[in-house]
Amino acid sequence: MPRIASWITHRWTKWIVIGFWLVVLAVLGPLAGKLSGVESNETKNWLPASAESTQVLDVAARFSDPDTLPAVVVYVRDDGGKLTSADLAAVAEDAKEFGGRDDLDGKVVGPVPSEDGEAAQVVVPLNLGPNGWDQASDVVDQLRQVADDGAPDLRAYVTGPAGQAADSSKAFEGIESTLLFAAAGVVILILLLTYRSPILWLLPVISAGVALTVAQAVIYLLADHAGLTVNAQSAGILTVLVFGAGTDYALLLVARYREELRRHHDQHEAMGLALHRASPAIIASGATVALGMLCLLIARMSSTSGLGPVAAIGIVVGLLVMLTLLPALLVACGRWVFWPRVPHEGQAEPTENGVWAKVGRRIARGPRRTWVVTSLILAVCTLGVTQLNATGLSTAESFRGEQPSVTGQQVLEKHFPGGAGEPVVVVANAAQASAVREAFARTEGIDAATVTKPVVADGVAYLEGTLTSAPDSQAAYDTVDRVRDAVHAVPGADAKVGGSTAVNLDVLRASWSDTERIIPLILLVVFVILALLLRAITAPLILIGTVVLSFGAALGVSALFFRHVFGYAGADPSLPLFVFVFLVALGIDYNIFLMTRVREEAAKLGTRRGALVGLAATGGVITSAGLVLAGTFATLGTLPLVTFAEIGFAVAFGVLLDTLIVRSVLVTALNLDVGRSMWWPSRLSREERRSGAPEPVA
């Protein structure tokens, strides 16, 4: 590493490093903007591949184009009264106009009046092509305009799969603009406050921008040519992850560089030493996050498994940029970039008497009392997890603010059977179609009159039936289970049950299964990396314990906020896993930043003094890094989606808790109390200190 560091920071070769990244940016930059064009946001690409409902989607493609999205247009009078013959005639004219669309896939159904006579619906099957999710918004606006131009006393709503896709695509439009600008703005603000320099903040932000652009280009190439699955969710998380984690690495490097500038006259020599000493912690941090993200590959949920390699690529690219381009830019600019607080050779290190040095001295007066009390408080916070209703969100509960498709669905459910527009689908062997239809129709929770006659193709029968309850309710999930039990019992039918309600049910179960399998694997990966880095067993076990405690406390407090402050109805079943992955994989960064420095100082000064010096030296940079990461994840709240807002809040709160309390107070107190045994079984655990200087009591 010293040779690589000296090459990167050499007074001549630094220009080669900068030139290299300029060439990479020029070549790959145009490809980054194409990432959204290869996103796969179709339903199948978010689902567990082995689930029964996913298999039904594959079979159903024989009977209807998988790119078809039905739009349900529901009409009611403004005065809430019954529809008149003139109203129905106006709806019929709209249906006729819908039938003339070029993107129609089949016949328009309707108008179908409700039993109470107060509403009518028209079902418009639309084939929007493989990128239909992106086009749904414009198409639904066109349908709404036709419906609104009809009878003046009628109010029309567009809902169903097409309406929901339109609202979802609009919600994700902010990923490429609002989210990016918000994340960059947060990073710039915190760097300005941290460095108090009008210039220095530019270099980490420029480096983070290069990292994001290159990562997006690499992911685009893999998605376009190697089958990597990317969706709007992973693209959005990539933005905050690269900006947040990349800036964290920059903060650590710049802090170590500033230290070395106070010890050395030449900035190239100072950066070479800073890069040599900081890079093990930065590389270990990046490797931990990347490997933690790759653990998601074993997930049953396609959206979760697809996030793993996307996030890992972003972290690896960010790591490379921050360890090559950033140091080259810093030494190319010289000391003046720190203006007006330029570090000069011979200056005293301010962290020796800074805030965290004082905190360390207070902790040293009673380390056992400190870690016991802190642990008890965090344990109490974990009790809030009982308030976390991570059983999924209905369509209405998934959005923040009013959405047209949600309002339309509520109107539809008021006047038509609960599952209208979102049928339960059954596929089975054609030879047993009659028996399957009979079992399907007599299932409790299914409107028997709506069960269709079997349509047969290639030896497979296709049936649909309407739920009597809302399609995203627990009653509907129970009905799907009953339908599955009923049709699975038909001998030789090989029947499978799908549809949107079955999809949601399978997603819920797959998400919990992923959580149970992936969390232990990530903990194992983290333990191995910490053990190799710190050359100890005790320290990694203790650190993992603090990480788990921090995660539980963050999730518990977040659950209380979700229910009692924000008023959210529940949480997505994938929330605990995502929060765990980000808090543990990213939170371990701060463990690594702190403990590598503590180990370095302990080898020179002894365990007790090393713990205090390590805290004093890294406390400020860890706090700044935590603020950056928390701020970038908090920007997920700019999207009108409850799931993103919850992930953003929980991760942001957890990171702040981790940096301000767990890493700086709890871990330091444990370091002081456990003493040399923290480094067991390494040689450091058997040596009091290497220098002859006595260790101070406090």
Per-block average pLDDT, block size 10, for the chain (698 residues)?
A: 70 88 93 81 70 84 72 85 85 85 79 85 81 75 81 82 81 67 84 86 92 94 86 82 87 87 86 86 87 89 85 93 93 87 76 80 92 95 90 77 80 73 85 90 88 86 86 86 92 89 86 88 90 89 90 94 88 88 80 86 85 86 85 83 89 91 90 89 70 42
pLDDT of residue 132: 64
Own/partner long-range contacts of 213-217 (Cβ < 8 Å, ≥24 apart): 213/25, 213/28, 213/29, 213/32, 214/24, 214/25, 214/28, 214/32, 214/317, 214/321, 215/242, 215/313, 215/314, 215/317, 215/318, 216/31, 216/32, 216/33, 216/35, 217/28, 217/29, 217/31, 217/32, 217/35
- In whole angstroms, what is the distance from residue 240 CA to residue 236 CA? 7
Closest Cα partner for 646 from 589, 590, 541, 571? 571
Residue ranges of domains in the chain, CATH in brackets: 1-47+174-347 (1.20.1640.10), 66-172 (3.30.70.1440), 350-401+518-523+533-686 (1.20.1640.10), 423-498 (3.30.70)
For residue 75, the SS3 value is strand
| C-beta of residue 592 within 8 angstroms of C-beta of residue 546 | no
- In whole angstroms, what is the distance from residue 318 CA to residue 639 CA? 24
pLDDT of residue 213: 94
- In whole angstroms, what is the distance from residue 295 CA to residue 282 CA? 20
pLDDT of residue 420: 59
pLDDT of residue 150: 67
Torsion, Cα of 653, 657, 658, 663 (10° steps): 170
Closest Cα partner for 575 from 591, 589, 554? 554
Please report which helix (H) or strand (E) contains residue 689, including its range: none
Closest Cα partner for 622 from 81, 255, 336? 255
**Rounded-to-5 percentages of helix, strand, coil across the chain:** 70, 10, 25
pLDDT of residue 697: 40
pLDDT of residue 689: 47
- In whole angstroms, what is the distance from residue 203 CA to residue 207 CA? 6
Please report which helix (H) or strand (E) contains residue 594, including its range: helix 575-605
